[in-house]
């Protein structure tokens, strides 16, 4: 084992959005043995970096679902931004059809000023149906979404495009499955984008060449490491591209069955230090 890549949300982070001491110790043990560690996330670079600094972790960072790579020293290796005309088309459509969305640049995460109200209207509209949203899930979702660093509400989507910043990712979230599927169908045929999902009820659009798997290959090539000597740990669909490239693919215990089926090992959940258990298993040590 020479390279370990781990997702962040619902993988390295627990449900309180914290990295446990057990996970930190396991990562440092791997690094002490000369193993390169990569954190691969759909989050922005500045948000992921702030989390790493909080825990004094220095790793390669794959962010925006593979559209950006930074070294342990913070040097950029890759930046894949989206065409502005395409972003304008997407954001205009999402805004006019009352979706909650985010537009991530290298500086901010732009979102509608009435974003929480949009999500509340959706949840309220599902009350009394079999798709009703549990209040606890609604609160947890909003906490996860709006806890990100750099959230910048705007009154009109035009403010986003006038900011003249490179866009790495457009994120859309909807509690309403039918409504979300309409949006997916709207953009699914646009081959200039990579579409994936990192949470229940969402989809994300980025540059067509942006994926965690592609980014991990770039890092491995630079380090002259074969991915037959690598492990990838994750819980959701945006992790599959790196799981399929490595020899040792690990699904979190809290991942759904689709993700577990593509992996050759299932570890414990993010609430039970699943990342630490996976690292320790492949390092030959028991927790």
- Expressed in angstroms, the distance from the first to the final Cα of the chain is 18
For residue 175, give both structure tokens. Answer: 């509690």
In the three-class reduction of DSSP (H, G, I as helix; E, B as strand; rest coil), residue 91 is classed as helix
- In angstroms, the CA 69 to CA 216 distance is 9
- CA distances to 6, 23, 124 from 153, rounded to whole Å, are 30, 34, 22
- 38 contacts 48 by C-beta, under 8 angstroms: no
Supply the Cα-derived Rg of the chain in whole angstroms.
Answer: 19
- 36 contacts 223 by C-beta, under 8 angstroms: yes
Tell me 148's DSSP state: S
Residues known to be catalytic: 7
The b-or-e profile of 57-77 (16+ CB within 10 A means b, else e) is: bebbbbbbbbbbbbeeeeeee
- 103 contacts 160 by C-beta, under 8 angstroms: yes
């Amino acid at each position: 084992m020479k390279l370990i890549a781990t997702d962040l949300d619902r993988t390295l982070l627990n449900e309180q959005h914290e990295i446990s001491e057990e996970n930190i110790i396991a990562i440092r043990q791997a690094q002490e043995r000369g193993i390169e560690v990569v954190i691969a996330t759909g989050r922005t670079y500045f948000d992921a970096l702030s989390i790493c600094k909080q825990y004094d972790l220095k790793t390669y960072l794959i962010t925006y679902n593979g559209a950006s790579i930074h070294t342990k020293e913070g040097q950029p290796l890759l930046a894949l931004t989206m065409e502005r005309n395409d972003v304008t088309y997407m954001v205009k459509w999402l805004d006019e059809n009352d979706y909650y969305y985010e537009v991530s640049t290298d500086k901010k995460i732009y979102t509608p000023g009435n974003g929480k109200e949009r999500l509340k209207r959706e949840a309220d509209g599902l009350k009394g149906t079999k798709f009703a949203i549990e209040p606890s899930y609604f609160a947890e979702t909003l906490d996860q979404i709006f806890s990100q660093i750099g959230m910048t509400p705007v009154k009109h989507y035009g403010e986003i495009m006038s900011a003249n910043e490179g866009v790495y990712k457009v994120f859309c979230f909807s509690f309403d499955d039918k409504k979300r599927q309409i949006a997916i169908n709207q953009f699914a045929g646009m081959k200039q984008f990579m579409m994936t999902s990192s949470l229940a009820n969402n989809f994300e659009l980025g540059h067509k060449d942006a994926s965690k798997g592609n980014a991990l290959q770039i890092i491995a090539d630079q380090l002259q490491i074969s991915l037959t000597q690598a492990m990838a740990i994750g819980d959701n669909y945006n992790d599959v591209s790196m799981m399929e490239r490595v020899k040792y693919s690990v699904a979190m215990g809290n991942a759904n069955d689709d993700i577990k089926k593509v992996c050759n090992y299932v570890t414990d959940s993010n609430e039970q230090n699943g990342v630490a258990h996976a690292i320790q298993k492949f390092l030959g040590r028991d927790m």
